[in-house]
Structure 1
Amino acid sequence: MSHDDGYGSDSGRTGDGYSTIGGTRQTRTRLPDGEGGDGYGPRRPARNSRSLVTVVGVIVLLLAAIAFANMGGGDGSDGDGASGSNGKKAGAAPTAATGTKPVTGKNGEIASGFAHDQQGAESAAANYSVALVSADILKPAQRAQIVRQVFVTGRVGELETKFNQAYNKDFLDKIGLDESGNAAEGMTYVSRTAPVGTKVTQFADASATVEVWCTGVFGTAGVGSTNPVSNDWFTMTLKLQWESDDWKVDSFSQKDGPAPVNTDRTASNADEIAKAVEEYGGFTYAR
């Protein structure tokens, strides 16, 4: 992956064909996807404290919002080796990066100009996963821009409406954000996603289905936060279409894991987390 400091510094998601709305799940928002896939927002590890009850409540709300927003397709059920309309099968690919530059340009803060091939579809899916689970998806102004940049033209109107309904004032209040999607003074809302790998399960000349294995950090950093920043592992499935000389998302979904065993490393304090989010830039992801 090539470093790109200008690429989104925060992340979020949901659960129907669009289960990856950013920021709600804790810093990351997901749109609800079908069959248990909330599309956006990772789940937090279990905690043996009263804050766990609050966290669980927030997560349930996020998942509900995601499921509502993601009502369009993509259940992530495509299996390995599924053939595309042109008869090609998506076989196993090497896990190492290819070293090929992923894109030719950027559309705002989101990478664009992906190659019209399988590798380009994987790079597009990885970059779009980051955008869809970003904290910006919770902000009305940025949300509209993200939806128009990421989704196929025919889905934009429908998804703008669903996202707005899912992330309304009541929802934002419950996760400690104002109507503009901003945290209270002294708090920092975190939603940062990092793709770990990609896998194509279907590929044709004008369509592709790609699974993106992700990890990330999500929550609110600050003294007295009831939604502390934690990490999560999840897999997003994005169904892409080739439109206007680029790969765009038609629908998406999300499921938990695969997740490794947590270590006993001491957690950083809220100030350290907030500082890291502000100082460390994001990346443009390549296959």
Structure 2
Amino acid sequence: MQLTLLDRIDRVAEDVVALTLRGATGPLAPWEPGAHIDLALPNWLTRQYSLCGDPADRGHYRVAVRHERLSRGGSDYIHRYLRPGRTLEVSLPRNNFPLVPAPDYLFLAGGIGITAILPMLRAAVDEGASGAMVYTGRTYATMPFAGDLRDAYGERVTIVATERDRRPDLAALGAGLGPETVVYCCGPASLLTASEAVFPAERLHTERFRPTPRTFAPNTAFDVVCARSERTVRIPADESLLAALTHAGLPVPAGCREGVCGSCELTVLEGEPEHRDDIGAAPGRMYACVSRSLSPRLVIDL
């Protein structure tokens, strides 16, 4: 974890504030577009937010937070109670949504999804790549950074306020996609689902804030051998791997607990994990909050 001071809270749209965090003891860890951090709040909750500032600024992190109507306690606390001057712990940046090199990009952002996409557009332009953005939201007033984007990038950015304008024609965008264009999309599930139906899977990169509803086989119990700790833990059918390890005195860092942030990643040494995350675990890795085992025994590096 890194120690930061909350320098500023700025209202950047209707029900959206931006937090500027300054390193309390020196430069902050580097990051690249698409990265996010875990923010440990004073009300004992930890939440994940995409970094939307400038990666070249090692002294500050910037995140934006929408006040959710059905807040689970994170955004509500930030909007109602958090004040500048507070000391806050944040994780090292993690990036499950990296910007791959390409000569041409199409960026699609919906609502607060702009936070992940904003640094990508900046990086693409700085690298001399061609790039365009379509940014959608209910109204202009609800769309953070819309004015900044229009001022900085002009015709590269198309802003669509859906209460006034028609929704963007993704089929037309897909039909006009260049042969080397890579598409990045972040926003509500409806935008992601529509994008997946239009754009070639091999050129589409998405990030979700909530897990995709899916059905899995019924849970079964399995054993986990913790190689470094020389402990074997029984994982009951009605308990997650993350919870069972915690109860056994072998806690694993965790953030979202929904398989979308990657903070509870484990290295698998033997056995076959059943991946239930939305990130796409690399070979030999799994996420303890949602994933289980297809083999009766897993050996992990813990």
Structure-2-length-normalised TM-score: 0.24
Give the structure with the larger helix fraction.
1
Structure whose CA Rg is larger:
2
Structure-1-length-normalised TM-score: 0.25
Give the structure with the larger strand fraction.
2
